[in-house]
Amino acid sequence: FKIEYKRFNTNTGVITELRPTLEAFVHFTYEYTKGYLVVCDLQGIEHNDEFLLTDPSIHCINPLRFGRTNFGKEGIK
């Protein structure tokens, strides 16, 4: 089988490959943390409805956490 690396969504909120499970996960991270953070920029490998994800971005209301891809409150909106 062919393995293809894909970007499913970006750290600016653009959905590039719609996968409802992954979008639900992004929303779950926001809800579970009561809006404190959101995990996004999901990319990796999809195989048989399973995902191996690498290098996500995390937007957090604390701008000093999670590196330069943390867009803070603006990224969470």
Question: Looking at residue 1, what is its pLDDT?
Answer: 64
- How far is 52 from 50, CA to CA, in rounded Å? 7
Closest CA to 34 of 64, 76, 74: 76
Structural domains of the chain, with CATH: 5-75 (3.20.200.10)
Residues 6+ apart with CB under 8 A from 69: 11, 41, 57, 58
Question: Looking at residue 28, what is its pLDDT?
Answer: 98
pLDDT in tens, the chain (77 residues): 678 999 999 999 899 999 999 999 999 999 999 999 999 999 999 988 899 999 999 999 999 999 999 999 999 98
pTM for the whole thing? 0.87
Angle at 55 between CA 32 and CA 71, to 5 degrees: 60
